Amino acid sequence: MSSGAGGDSGQARRNVELTEAAFVAFAKQGPSTVTEVLDPEVEVHSEQTMANAGTFHGVPGYLRWSERWFEAWDEFEIVVEMIEPVGESHVVASCRQAARGRSSGVPVEMPACYMFEISEASVVRFHLYNTRDEAIAEARRGEAGEPTSFG
């Protein structure tokens, strides 16, 4: 784990630990298992350049988003390469996603960066970006109390 983006407090460390645990649970039991750490009004967003683009709200929105995503794949794996705090309430996870298309059977590998905003041990915003720089910039906007880049 790197703290190069900022956030060395106890709260930042707890947020990184929560994120790590959520990725482990997701890998073992699938997307529905992480709903226990999602705020009931969680905001889920995928950039327009990503598959399954759009903004979804609440736990039902997250489940709808993940269901649409997993319908396309026979196999899917997220390899977490780095999780780093950004300030006190944001975490960015740089990952590599590997999948096999359900219809085509074609293997696909792509980078992805997840940005999480965490408040009182619940994820209130969960965004997916193509690059670490995009995810870090959004996290920094959130730390500064600025509006989201897409809204």
Establish if 70 belongs to a structural domain. Answer: yes
Establish if 134 belongs to a structural domain. Answer: yes
- What pLDDT is recorded for position 5? 60
pLDDT band for 2, please (50, 70, 90 cuts).
Answer: very low
Establish if 149 belongs to a structural domain. Answer: no
Rg of the chain over all Cα atoms, to the nearest angstrom: 15
Mean pLDDT of the chain: 91
CA distances in angstroms from 132 to 39, 44, 88, 96, 127, listed in the order given: 24, 17, 18, 12, 12
- How many domains does one find in the chain? 1
| DSSP three-state, residue 55 | strand
Establish if 51 belongs to a structural domain. Answer: yes
Establish if 5 belongs to a structural domain. Answer: no
Q: How far apart are the first and last CA of the chain?
A: 30
Establish if 80 belongs to a structural domain. Answer: yes
This prediction has a pTM of 0.89
* CATH assignment at residue 57: 3.10.450.50
| Residue pLDDT, tens place only, 9-56 | 899 999 999 999 999 999 999 889 999 999 999 999 998 888 789 999
Establish if 1 belongs to a structural domain. Answer: no
Query: What tokens does 35 get?
Result: 């709903």
- What pLDDT is recorded for position 69? 83
Establish if 2 belongs to a structural domain. Answer: no
The Cα–Cα gap between 16 and 94 comes to 12
151: pLDDT strictly greater than 60:
no
Which letter does DSSP use for residue 151 in this model?
-
pLDDT band for 74, please (50, 70, 90 cuts).
Answer: confident
Domain that holds residue 18: 10-27+37-143
| Residue pLDDT, tens place only, 59-69 | 999 999 999 88
